[in-house]
Amino acid sequence: MPAKLKAAVLGSTGYTGLELTRLLLRHPRLEQPALLQREKQTDTACNLAEMFPVLSGNGSYPLQPLSWPALRQQGVQLLFLATPHQASRSLVPEAIAQGLRVIDLSGAWRLKREQHRAVYGFEDADSVAAADVTEMAIYGLPELHRDQIPGAALVANPGCYATSVILALAPLLAAGIIDRERGIISDSKSGVSGAGKEPNSRTHFVSVADNLSAYSVFGHRHVGEMLEQLQLNTCELIFTPHLLPIPRGILSTIYVHLNREMKAGEVESCFRDFYAGRRWVRIFATPKLPQIQFSLHTNYCDLGFCLADDGRRLVLVSCVDNLLKGAAGQAVQNMNLMYGWKEEEGLQ
């Protein structure tokens, strides 16, 4: 049996980090991952199982301070970052300099264009080094960049909303059948875990329960990813996110006009041909449409559509679990590609 990979996770105490840790713990090709924290915390438990009893009874999961020498001593080869955007922006150049491969689940390195990164307000201590890292980063959407991921030193894991929208639109845009001049509208809704673990007035129970609210209209951080990956202009896409009163899951309803009259079978074939051999995309035959409950707790992106009687107006529905295909599951899928393993390993 070949030696198992040693990985480390920084940020395992967040929603995404915990989900990622649970996946890595059961992955057949990994040793137990090293669980890191950015600084020693004396006021909280130092064992992940004490903080999250769901892990209890299966061993000890100690949290250790981040130390590059300690990671070398433990034989860590791959570092997952489930950290705030600015923290990842600072840590990734250091990690690469230490010879580690990195999968970053934040938005720190997803965007190539400065105008799209501006929404994050990054302050780089070394702008030249940051530019070099930006250039080497591979956007970790396996369905689009499967050939580039295996050789990557840094994989920038996509955003959850971006994953749902990009996968829905990519086949149609690649085929050149969307009337881009008439615009694309995405109405997307996410469970509360997509907002992260840190509470705020918008995510408190009394604000979310029995409610549905729009937010970050014309200003959401994931829009830049959609524009860059789909090669759209700003004026061609309107994206509006909403907060659902559920823990997890995303449903994106996307409205497009086609530039020629089409049959439903042609549209379906466009999707099936584009995603042939792509393990984690499921195409629903019309008129059946995806629902959040179908993709929940899986790494699938479920895609479906309805075509108007005129053959020119198309409504797409895309569903993902924001913590899995939208984050931790996709990170594991990227790891599998980086090391030449099957994409489904550790995710079934």
Question: Catalytic positions, please?
Answer: 160
Host H or E run for residue 338: helix 328-338
Q: Amino acid letter at 269?
A: S
In sequence order, what E strands does the chain have?
7-10, 34-37, 63-65, 78-81, 101-104, 138-139, 154-156, 184-190, 213-214, 237-243, 250-257, 281-283, 301-307, 313-320
Sheet with 301-307: list strands edge to edge.
213-214, 237-243, 184-190, 250-257, 313-320, 301-307, 281-283
Which residue in 268, 318, 261, 272 sits closest to 295, CA to CA? 318
Give 37's DSSP letter: E
